[in-house]
Structure 1
Amino acid sequence: MQLWLEVIINIAFSYIASVGFALTINVPHRALNLSGISGVIGWMVYWVAARAGMGRMLSNLMGAFIIGILGLMFARIKKCPVTVFNIPALVPLVPGVPAYQAVRALVNGQTMEAETAILRVGIVTCAIALGILLSTMFIEMFYRSKRFYRKRHNRL
């Protein structure tokens, strides 16, 4: 498959997944498009990092980090809670296939395969949570340092 076609398919389906989930959880209509855009950008960061050979954990961490930063920015722009943008945007990053494989392996009695799949799900989930945490901490540090230097500049 050609690269440009693969990029278009990834953009289209990540947008549909993000906006579809946003509609399911009753996100306000004024925030639907931005939650879809956040999902697309997060998924494309993940996809590019995975194609560059960075591994599943680092790719998910980078995608979630970008989604967290975009969610905080969009929340300020639209005056909505951050979760309105973060939760739907994280849907494309959720490890659904390994979770399904883990459950299927458990049902079939294949404990070694189930353990491996559960470990993959746990690693990806922790990477996503860490990405959101780091983005929140990064933005908080940015605004605090901005406020500190503004106060310092006003004193002088």
Structure 2
Amino acid sequence: MIAQLVTSYIASAAFGIIFNVPRNTLIQCGFVGMMGWLVYVALVRSDTNAIVATLAAAFFVTVISRVFARLYKTPIIVFSVAGIIPLVPGGMAYDAMRSFVENDYNLAVQLAAKAFMISGSIAAGLIFSEVMNQLFKRPKV
């Protein structure tokens, strides 16, 4: 578990470097990715579906990203993009393509569908968090 957290931290911070984020936000980018991965792993280990766990983790990543964006006066995208990197199902998409090449179409379709649903849950979690923020931030009429 500790190795996964350290790896997710490094991956998120490294993608921050690739995306050319301000150097003073690299530590926070790594932290956001690590916390998102922690939520995901905790939910999956408690027998939650991977798609629901990814949705919750993406929601959490956006919440933390919004807090850091306010604290460090930086656009939210700096933290949210780096934070979702550990959640992206790249390995699963690779396995799906490999199964297609190996003519194992049943497994390929299953893996591709799951990768697509996980990717969609990342997008839905980001959007849902932003909608919730707008609802609570909305001026009273």
Tell me the TM-score range normalised by the shorter chain.
Answer: over 0.9
1:128 and 2:127 aligned: no
| Counterpart position of 1:3 | none
| Counterpart position of 1:42 | 36
1:77 and 2:74 aligned: no
Residues 5-154 of structure 1 correspond to what in structure 2 (within 5 A)?
6=1, 8-144=2-138, 147-148=139-140
| Residue identity opposite 1:33 in structure 2 | I
* Large movers: runs of 4+ above 3 Å: none
Deviation of residue 112 (structure 1)?
A: 1.6
Partner secondary structure for residue 20 of structure 2: coil
Gaps of 5+ in 2: none
Deviation of residue 110 (structure 1)?
A: 1.9
Deviation of residue 132 (structure 1)?
A: 0.4
Q: Percent identity?
A: 32
Structure 2: distance between partners of 1:141 and 1:75:
18
Structure 1: distance between partners of 2:129 and 2:24:
24
Output one character per residue of 1:2-25: Cα deviation in whole Å (capped at 9) or x when no partner: xxxx2x212211100100111111
Structure 2: distance between partners of 1:119 and 1:79:
38
Structure 2: distance between partners of 1:138 and 1:77:
19
Deviation of residue 83 (structure 1)?
A: 1.0
Deviation of residue 109 (structure 1)?
A: 2.0
Structure 1: distance between partners of 2:45 and 2:95:
23
CA RMSD of aligned residues (A): 1.2
Structure 2: distance between partners of 1:47 and 1:76:
27
Structure 2: distance between partners of 1:66 and 1:140:
16
Partner secondary structure for residue 21 of structure 2: coil
Say which one has the larger Rg: 1
Structure 1: distance between partners of 2:105 and 2:47:
29
Structure 2: distance between partners of 1:30 and 1:140:
28
Structure 2: distance between partners of 1:75 and 1:24:
19
- TM-score by length of structure 1 reads 0.86
Structure 1: distance between partners of 2:61 and 2:120:
15
- TM-score by length of structure 2 reads 0.95
Gaps of 5+ in 1: 1-5
